[in-house]
Amino acid sequence: MQWYPMHVADFTMDTIGWPNEVVGILIKLMHYQWSNEFLPAHQKKLARIAGVENPNHWSEIWQWYLNEKFSEISPGKLVNNRLRREYLRIQKKNKQARDAVMKRWKKDGETKELDTHVSTVEVRTKNKEQRTNKDSPTGRVAVPYQKIVDLYHEHCPQLPACKLLSDKRKAQIRARWKTFEFTRSRHGQDPETISFNDLSTWERYFKFITERCPFMNGDNDRGWVANFDFVIRESGMIGVMENKYVRKQK
């Protein structure tokens, strides 16, 4: 895990009146703990991590400022307790996200590509006039907003739910429904163009995210998980279509 939450207000209050050198040393020690899970409970090693060469100077810093910030959880292992709790919390969250994705993969059986033998993906928008619903007396496109949201919930249960179908979200869905399409160039076959003005395409798209895009499901070093706004955004959809988030086969 490459990052950790810094509770700025608490950190500032805890270090008020400290020399800048000591504040910097505390941050160094916290960084080391986060990267290695714990610090060595050995004063010489701690001084080396902190970058303090003078043993007497280090002894003063530790005694007057840092001693109360760390405790020994087991022989040879020293931690800042609050940082430790954050580490375990985020580690658990990341594991839950990964387990949810793996459970879905096992349930659905063998992983599948959105389309086999796809060599290139071309994403483009069509002329607005070409996408009008000719069955509508007014010429307006009838967009099944709620059905698309329902498909998202059904096939991406591990992602945050879409609790409000706002006007902004409807505008994004409408834009994708009316103009978004991609062309698949397949080896030895004629290219095929697929448009997102069909519910079956949306269903395949959401399934593909769950089955083949672990990065979007929390399997990354930040624990980031895609949400509904991301998966309906044009840039997000292009990334999915170009296999940007697909697990690389070893």
Provide the CATH number for the domain around residue 78. 1.10.10
Higher pLDDT, 5 or 206: 206
Both 59 and 115 in a single domain?
A: no
Higher pLDDT, 58 or 250: 58
Both 180 and 148 in a single domain?
A: yes
Separation between Cα atoms, residue 112 and residue 237, nearest integer Å: 18
Query: Where residue 140 falls among pLDDT bands split at 50, 70, 90?
Result: low
Both 127 and 225 in a single domain?
A: yes
Both 144 and 80 in a single domain?
A: no
User: Is the pLDDT score of 111 beyond 60?
Assistant: no
Any domain includes 129 = yes
Both 120 and 12 in a single domain?
A: no
Greatest mean pLDDT among 20-29, 89-98, 195-204, 233-242 lies in 20-29
DSSP 8-class letter at 250 = -
Separation between Cα atoms, residue 44 and residue 77, nearest integer Å: 14
Both 149 and 42 in a single domain?
A: no
Any domain includes 42 = yes
Both 176 and 209 in a single domain?
A: yes
Both 72 and 144 in a single domain?
A: no
Any domain includes 97 = no
Both 82 and 138 in a single domain?
A: no
User: Is the pLDDT score of 63 beyond 50?
Assistant: yes
Mean pLDDT of 82-110: 79
Higher pLDDT, 244 or 248: 244
Any domain includes 124 = yes
Span 161-190, pLDDT tens digits: 999 999 999 999 999 998 887 776 666 677
Any domain includes 192 = yes
Query: Where residue 230 falls among pLDDT bands split at 50, 70, 90?
Result: very high
Helices (H), 109-222: 145-155, 167-179, 199-212
Pairing outcome for strands 118-125 and 180-186: antiparallel
* Closest C-alpha among 115, 113, 112 to residue 183: 115
Number of structural domains, the chain? 2
How confident is the model at residue 244, as a pLDDT? 87
Q: What is the mean pLDDT of the chain?
A: 83
pTM reported for the whole predicted model? 0.47
Domain boundary among 87, 102, 119: 87
Give the amino acid at 25.
I
User: Is the pLDDT score of 131 beyond 50?
Assistant: no
Any domain includes 224 = yes
User: Is the pLDDT score of 33 beyond 80?
Assistant: yes
Any domain includes 184 = yes
CA-to-CA separations, 84 to 10, 24, 182, in angstroms, rounded: 16, 19, 46
Contact yes or no for 46/67 (Cβ under 8 A):
no
User: Is the pLDDT score of 118 beyond 50?
Assistant: no
User: Is the pLDDT score of 248 beyond 70?
Assistant: no
How confident is the model at residue 186, as a pLDDT? 62
Both 217 and 167 in a single domain?
A: yes
User: Is the pLDDT score of 80 beyond 60?
Assistant: yes
Mean pLDDT of 32-55: 94
Residue whose tokens read 């580490």: 87
* Closest C-alpha among 95, 246, 138, 120 to residue 186: 120
Any domain includes 204 = yes
How confident is the model at residue 138, as a pLDDT? 44
Domain that holds residue 141: 111-241
Residue whose tokens read 């703990």: 33
Both 80 and 164 in a single domain?
A: no
Mean pLDDT of 62-88: 92
